[in-house]
A and B are shown apart, each in its own frame.
Chain A
Amino acid sequence: MSTLSVGNEKWKEWLLNYSLYVILGVLIIAVVVMEPTFLSFDNLSKIMAQASTRGILALGVAGMIVYTGTDLSAGRILGCCAAISASLLQSVTYASRMYPGITEPLPLALPLLLAMAVGMMFCCLNAFGFAVLKMHPFIISLGTQLIAYGALCLYIDSQAGGAQPLASLDPRYISVVNGSFDIGFMKLPYLVVYLAICSAVMWVIWNKTTIGKNMFAIGGNPEAAAVSGVNVVRNIFQVYLIAGMLYGIAAFLEAGRVQSVTTATGLNYDLDAISGCVIGGVSFTGGVGTIPGVLVGVIILQVINYSLYYLGVNAYFQYIIKGLIIIMAVAIDVRKYISKK
């Protein structure tokens, strides 16, 4: 009717479109109000570094959610791949290392590639169940998760000294993962750079290649995509294999970040990755999602984690608050799609 209400509409639409960023902003402001010291480059770089491995994992899971699927096995697959990287990169002077035969440090790329290969293998199994056997990804990945966990336990238990955590890692490995660039006013952790590279590559795949375009077509309407000539099975395998590579990279980095791999490594990482995606607007109804969204989702989750620790909130309340914030963030974000329909 009047110009005022038109302005109001625009304002509302802007808020809806950028709701994620608004939530992130409000969250940070709220924490800073409670604890002004929170606002520092040191905290920023730590939050970003912590978000990096989960972020890379989430970039892989996001594709599966676009298909209306999910991946419950991501965490345990990460555990397996991390065990492989760590076992091959234990310091060669550590007496009870897993492979006493390795007396010269291996090139760092080799364990990374192996971890990626193992990640791809497990994802292949998931893709086979989903695309060929027509199982729901929830079920197939539930099975894969147990297989990956069993494999991880067997691998860790196969050491000469029994089930020992895989620790005492090669100093080169630790510095490649945990190092940082000094850019004057703050430290830029390598981990953040790795996340940025992975995100850029994934953005290109999602937006500029047929793999990405077909993925969204299948996620939006699989029958229509098949009828219009999309090779659904091939596309699913492509997306899952890319996810497997990302799991391998995330695992390689996570093992170096924590500097010890046990049978518990990776537990519940899948749920973190899925929550990150969902907060970031990757819709469970399929066909919707963006890479920047995933990144913001993962960062929001990490800001919540970090700030709850920072504020010294009681550990059990942390779960409740985190749950409430996730529900609220998603509730606000989905309005964007409701209003468009």
Chain B
Amino acid sequence: MKPRSSCMFVAICAVIACLFASVASAAAPNIGVLIYKYDDTYISTVRNALTKALDGKATMTMQDGKGDQATQNDQLDVMISKKMDGLIVNMVDAQAAAGVLEKIKAAGIPVVFFNREPNLDVLKTYDKSVFVGTNAADAGKMQGDIIKQLWENKAFDLNGDGKFQYVMFKGEPDNPEAIARTEFSVKQAALNGVTMDQIGQTFVCNWDTALAQQAMESALAANEGKIELVIANNDSMAMGAIAALSNVGYNLEGGSKFIPVIGVDATDQAVDAIGKGIMSATVKQDGEAMGQAVATIMLNMAAGKAPLDGTSYTYDDSGIAVRIPYSPFMGK
């Protein structure tokens, strides 16, 4: 029994090796990429853009952090052991960046962090590091501007009290982007002269469609007719809210009852929903541009050039971060 099993095992391993092990080409640099979680819609866009941009110019090894910082740390250990020429890191938990940077610094490998923003003062302690991100507050502010535009259509003030009654869907409790979007969307709307009135507590739905749908269903059960606006930190949660709304007859394609829903990311699904008229607007976080920027900067650094050499990118005030702008999307 046993010897046969081990033979089988070796055979399986050999097959696996043939199928998946990467074949390093001679000149191209080895780039290690650590992603916070593969099954995140927006990050998937960046991931694909990144893969495309590095194709043929570098040998890429990518790992899925599965939403767990401990797993990502383990993966980083491996990348360092393999003596990568460059690392691209999308932190699971941006606050853990100090420990991660320490390890990378000790190994002397150039690194580009993207998406989730580490403390830039920590990053500045290592001269071979760059951050590519967005300005977290901007997405919220753009949502605030969209709210102003929606508000100008008085039909959305269902009870005619001059206040915009909204429900809020937040990403993760301790994620800086989620915190900023939640805060600045409402702040900006208020600055624009819209009186905002929240119904119930903020729903923390971990960026997740199913969780948002459940929360919206119970919110509708308790407050149907009072909710005039749905604000979500991302499109996945906005889609969940729309699913719940459609179950009770709102936001159906060609239907008469509509409650505005706004998200962030401009995922394919959301763009489609906006086209069909069952969603109001989203804020585009340009994943393609992000992936392209990360790849270009990484290749420069791996080749020993200045990070922004020969590109049109510029650093923001921090002198170490490049910002990819957001843009509002309300349908073509």
Contact = CB atoms under 8 A, between A and B. Distances in A.
Interface of A: 12, 15-16, 19, 22-23, 26-27, 29-31, 33-35, 37, 40, 42-43, 46, 50, 153, 156-157, 162-168, 174, 254, 257-260, 262-265, 267-268, 305-306, 309-318, 321, 324, 328, 332, 335
A313 B93 contact: no
- Majority-rule SS of B interface residues: helix
Contact of B95 (A42, A260, A311): A260
Contacts of A16: 2
Interface in B89-118: 92-96, 98-99
Contacts of A263: 172-174
A313 B92 CA distance: 20
A164 to B, nearest CB: 5
Contact of B20 (A163, A254, A313): A313
B174 A262 contact: yes
Nearest to B98: A259
Contacts of B1: 12, 332, 335
B173 A156 contact: yes
6 contacts: A26-B9, A42-B81, A162-B174, A260-B99, A309-B74, A311-B21
Given A50-B77, A262-B69, A315 B173 contact: no
A264 B172 CA distance: 10
A167 B98 contact: yes
Contacts of B93: 165, 167, 260, 262, 264
B10 interface: yes
B174 A163 contact: yes
Contact of A35 (B2, B21, B38, B69): B21
B3 interface: yes
Interface in B22-53: 22, 38
Given A164-B174, A165-B95, A312-B21, A34 B13 contact: yes
A264 B68 CA distance: 7
Given A30-B13, A50-B74, A312-B22, A156 B174 contact: yes
B246 interface: no
Nearest to B65: A315
A152 to B, nearest CB: 11
B3 A15 contact: yes
A262 B14 CA distance: 39
B330 interface: no
B99 A264 contact: no
B21 A34 contact: yes
Interface in B138-194: 172-174, 179
A29 B7 CA distance: 12
Contacts of B306: none
Interface of B: 1-3, 5-6, 9-10, 12-14, 16-17, 19-22, 38, 61-64, 67-70, 73-75, 77-79, 81-82, 92-96, 98-99, 172-174, 179
Contacts of B73: 257-258
A50 B68 CA distance: 14
A259 B98 CA distance: 8
A167 B2 contact: no
Nearest to B94: A165
B77 A260 contact: no
A264 B21 contact: no
A22 to B, nearest CB: 7
Given A26-B6, A34-B14, 11 more contacts: A23-B9, A27-B9, A35-B21, A40-B81, A42-B81, A50-B74, A260-B95, A260-B99, A264-B68, A264-B69, A309-B74
Q: Could you say which of B14, B62, B81 has the most chain A C-beta atoms within 10 Å of its C-beta?
A: B81
A30 B10 contact: yes
Contacts of B78: 46, 306, 309-310
7 smallest beta-carbon distances between A and B, as pairs:
A260-B96, A315-B64, A167-B95, A163-B173, A259-B99, A30-B13, A165-B95
A315 B74 contact: no
Given A163-B174, A262-B93, A305 B74 contact: yes
B202 to A, nearest CB: 11
A151 B17 CA distance: 44
A324 B12 contact: yes
Given A258-B70, A309-B75, A157 B173 contact: yes
Contacts of A26: 6, 9-10
A62 B128 CA distance: 45
Given A50-B77, A263-B173, A310-B78, A12 B2 contact: yes
A167 B63 contact: no
Nearest to A43: B81
A309 B63 contact: yes
B16 A321 contact: yes
A165 B2 contact: no
Given A162-B179, A167-B96, A312 B20 contact: yes
Contacts of A156: 173-174
Nearest to B61: A312
Given A37-B82, A257-B70, A262-B69, A328 B9 contact: yes
A264 B67 contact: yes
A328 B5 contact: yes
A30 B8 CA distance: 12
A23 B75 CA distance: 23
A249 B13 CA distance: 36
A314 B174 CA distance: 29
A40 B12 CA distance: 24
A192 to B, nearest CB: 14
